[in-house]
Structures are given as C-alpha cells and as structure tokens.
Amino acid sequence: MRVLLLVPAAALLLQPAAAQAEVVEYACTVTATGEVQDVKVEVELTVPTDAEVDVQMSIGWRGSYVEGSELRAPATGLAGEVKLYAYAGISGITGLTSATGVAPISTIVAGEPIPLPTTTVEIKTTPNREGSGTVRAASLNFGTSPSDRLIECEPKNENALTKHPLTIPGAGGTTTSPSPTPEPSTEPTTEPTSEPTTEPTTEPTTKAPTKTPSGAADTGGGGAAGPDGRVLVGAGSLLVLAATTGLFLRRRGRVPTL
C-alpha cells in the first residue's frame, strides 16, 4: 500500500528557494603587488521567499573552486586574521542594492590555494520597501576587515550570471502608504473679545491743610485766624478791661453815709 504525504502549501512557501549553482569567473587582484589571477568559483545562491519589509533577511552563499582555477596566496603570504567577504547584487527594489556576508577561513599558506569556507555563508541585508527584483552573485574580497582588502575579486561575466527572483511583500511595512494630510478647518478659531467695562473714577476730596503753630498744639484754626481776627479779639479785650476799670473806680469814689 502506498502512503501519500501531504505537505501544507504554506510550509512550501516559507522554504527558501532551491540553491542553483553556476560558475562565476573572477579577476582577483592582490592589492599589495597588483598581481591579477583568473579564478573560477562554482557559486550556489539561496534566495529567501519569506522576506519582509524592515526585517533582516539572509541570502545563502556557498562556493567551491573549479579544479585548476584556484586563487593562490601571494608568495609573501597574507598577514593577519584573513576572512572571506561575499557580496550579492540586488536590483529592481528601491533602496536595496547589495547584501554582505563574512566568514572565517582556515590557515593560509604562501603560494598555496586560499581555502574557501566549507559551510554556507549568510549574506544579510534589510529591505525598507516592498517590491520585486533579482539577486545575483557579486564580488569576493579577502582581508582582515571590509575596508582592509588584501585581495579583491570582481566577476568578469556579470551580465551572464543568473538573476534569481526576490520579492519583498508589503506586510509589516510602514512605507507603502503615507498618512493622509488632515484638511484645514473652516471654522474660526479666534473667540470674540468682550468689551472692557469702564467704571467711573471718583476723584478724592481735597482737604485744606491745617497749619499748626510752631511749638504748640493744633488749635483748630486759632493759629490761622489772620491779622483781622487778632484786631477784633484785641478790641474786645480793651472794652472788657475799660468796663471793669470804670466799675472799680465808681466803687472807690462812693463815700459811706453816717
């Protein structure tokens, strides 16, 4: 009896695209001496099918030399901890042009073939837009860092290389549709200003200053009576004095009767 195994379609969609091998012809230049070597590498690229916007994705790179066309180390050797830097070219997707991967390599012997990694190198990049494009094999560099390149290898048959399809769906992306611009409001935003209330101002009553004689208490106007008032007071005092004097003289001039 035969048993049929059914694989869900969703599981198939999440699997990376099958690796496809092809020969890439490189012109490799030793930066210290300018020596150029023609090298052939059989490259397998594995392009992901589950890429998403703003999520880092990995393209698998695996390479092996075509027999008789290996890259050899210079006669003086290569100093430092040398690594392989593999690149993939991406086209057709805005803002996405390349991906980079790094892997250590084993001991390098002067004048001998430089070993390639035996495991798959993860070439990584992060798309920031949705779209559909293609991926192809690109440069290879050997050095201690991406900027310290001891050997640079550029593909000579770039136009003949296979372009593997790559799709970045819009799910999870934030750059596909801009937010709508709100329409300006037609209602006035300035509230009417209430008129200020004007209250009558009461003028203070001016009170005539009271002069106090120097060295004396305030008499309530006696000190400010003026010269006319003092004349009247003096005349009245003289009249009272004359009357008193007359009475006194009349009493003294009267002779008692015996």
Structure-token pair, residue 150: 């001891």
Provide the b/e sequence for 71-106 (b: ≥16 CB within 10 Å): bbbbeeebeeebbbbbbbbbeebeebeebbbbbeee
In a domain, 44, yes or no: yes
Q: Cα separation of 183 and 188, whole Å?
A: 14
Question: Does residue 236 sit in helix, strand or coil?
Answer: helix
Structural domain boundaries, residue 121: 12-168
**Cross-strand partners of 154:** 27
In a domain, 93, yes or no: yes
Q: Cα separation of 170 and 54, whole Å?
A: 10
pLDDT at 61: 97
Kindly report whether the global pTM for this prediction surpasses the value 0.85: no
Would you mind telling me the total number of residues written for the chain in this entry? 258
In a domain, 34, yes or no: yes
In a domain, 23, yes or no: yes
Structure-token pair, residue 46: 């594995």
Low-confidence ranges of the chain (pLDDT < 70): 1-20, 171-258
Task: Please spell the DSSP secondary structure of 13-70, one letter per residue.
Answer: HHSPPPPEEEEEEEEEEETTT--EEEEEEEEEEE--S---TTS-EEEEEEEEEPTT--
Residue 21: CATH number of its domain: 2.60.40
In a domain, 173, yes or no: no
In a domain, 217, yes or no: no
Q: Cα separation of 8 and 123, whole Å?
A: 28
pLDDT at 55: 96
**Cross-strand partners of 164:** 135
The secondary structure element, H or E, covering residue 89 is strand 83-93
In a domain, 140, yes or no: yes
pLDDT at 206: 43
108: nearest Cα among 142, 141, 85, 61: 142
In a domain, 105, yes or no: yes
Structure-token pair, residue 240: 């009272």
113: nearest Cα among 61, 69, 62, 76: 69
Task: Please spell the DSSP secondary structure of 208-228, one letter per residue.
Answer: PPPP--TTS---SSGGGSHHH
Q: Cα separation of 228 and 204, whole Å?
A: 32
End-to-end, the C-alpha distance of the chain in Å comes to: 193
| Residue with tokens 């008789």, as numbered in its chain | 68
Query: What are the backbone dihedrals phi and psi of residue 250, each rounded to the nearest 5 degrees, phi first?
Result: -65, -40
Domain count, the chain: 1
